[in-house]
Amino acid sequence: MTGSTRGAIMDAAERLLRSKGYAAFSYADLAESVGIRKASIHHHFPTKEDLGVAIVEDYVRNVRERFSQIEAASDRLCDRLAGFREGFRTGAELGMLPLCGALAAEMAALPSKLQFLTREFFDLQLKWLTKILDDAAATGQLPQGSDTPQKAYLLLSLMEGSSFIDWAMQDGRHLDTPFLLQLARLPLPSQ
C-alpha cells in the first residue's frame, strides 16, 4: 500500500467524521468513499481508534503550523483573529463541522485516547488565543488587565458554537471578524 492510499483514507475519514460523526461511519462507509476494500483500511489502521488518533494528530500538527503562519503574517489582533476565524469558515464552506467540535459532541462515546486528544486540542486553541490576546495587551491593542483567558474561552466558544449553527442552517451566514471582536468586547481595528 502506498502513502497516497493512507492519505486518501485519512482525508475521507476526516470528512466523514466532520460531517457524520465518529460513531456514525464505518470502515465499510470509508472503503466505499475511497474505492478500496476494508482490508486495505485495516492494513493502515487496524482499529477505528487508530484511524481517529492519526486524523487528530495530523490535524493538530496542521493547526499548529497555521497558528505560526498567522502570527508571522501580522502582529495585529484583528488580523490574527481573522486568520483564526478563516479556519472555521473554510470547514463550513466544505460542509464540515470543526474537528474539535465534532469530536466533543460525541465525547462520551469516544475511546479514551480520542477523548484525551480532543481535550488537548481545545487546550491548544485556548492557549494560543490567550497568547495572542496577551500579545495584544502588551502592544497596547487591548487594555492592560484584560481577562485574556476568559476572552479566549469566549472567542473559541463563539467560533465553535457558530460553526454548529452554520452547519445546521447551511445558509452561508458566518460570524465576521468585526462582529466577533464586538462580541468579545475587543477593540475594533482602526480603518
Tens of pLDDT, residue by residue over 153-182, are 999 998 898 888 887 887 766 666 666 666
Instruction: Give the distance, in angstroms, between the CA of residue 116 and the centroid of all CA atoms in the same chain.
Output: 15
Cell of 21: 460523526
Q: Is the pLDDT of residue 88 over 80?
A: yes
Tell me how long the chain is. 191
- Predicted TM-score (pTM) of this structure: 0.89
State the pLDDT at residue 185.
63
172 Rama sector, left if φ>0, alpha if ψ -120 to 50, beta otherwise: left
CA 52 to chain centre: 14
CA distances from 19 to 24, 32, 140, 154, 170 (A): 9, 16, 41, 24, 13
The three cell numbers locating residue 30 = 470509508
Beta-carbon neighbour count of residue 83 at 10 Å? 18
**Which of the four CATH numbers 3.40.50.360, 1.10.8.50, 1.10.3720.10, 1.10.357.10 does domain 48-183 have?**
1.10.357.10
- Note the pLDDT of residue 175: 65
Encode pLDDT of 41-82 as tens digits. 999 999 999 999 999 999 999 999 999 999 999 999 989 998
* Residue-range domain boundaries for the chain: 48-183
* Whether residue 17 has pLDDT greater than 60: yes
The set of cell numbers assigned to 58 is: 495530523
Cell of 120: 488537548
**Among 87, 104, 85, which Cα is nearest to 96's?**
87
Could you identify the residue written with the cell 464552506? 93
CB-count exposure of residue 60 (10 Å: 0-12, 13-18, 19+):
middle
